[in-house]
Structure 1
């Protein structure tokens, strides 16, 4: 089993917001007041070999680095099983959708994968 740990929060006073940087958004904040770069509440996701295999089967990705630890480490040289970037994007989307109210709509979403997650 692999646990996805959220990255460290940026330095600064994010709990109360910053003019030039990210701010931690309380759950009660109306979606209309969100800004690009706001930080939503964190959530921990647990990626198991089975869940990663099923996800990759659903998206037609047969690469073994996503569900076979021995192959990922011994053959490909990774530190462990690689958690898919698109799966992490799906998790982020789920967090945003769960946070939004019934009258809110996720209009646009983008993310970047900068490092592999194991």
Structure 2
């Protein structure tokens, strides 16, 4: 029985497992399971969005209304689920932001600056 085996692993009661320690391995296994179930399918887990469907999660949307954000119920998005893969399909209209370069963040820092802001906020 798989449930009994997992319960024994969680308690560290399986015989002759060697390393890593059973409880540590169980925690790692549980962490990876959660990551796979909740991840966007584009990364290889959560096949057919099964984890999201189980939870009633609508997937990756670029916006939520104020009612959806503040409401007591989960946002349903009329039953439509979206994945990051939906943004890469032909026909998806990606709006360009003038002057935005997503690779700029990996460039080396500039050596000259006219102004430096530190701790700006209210």
- TM-score, L = length of structure 2: 0.23
Higher RCO (C-alpha under 8 Å, 6+ residues apart): 1
- TM-score, L = length of structure 1: 0.24
Bigger proportion of residues as strand: 1
Structure of higher CA gyration radius: 2
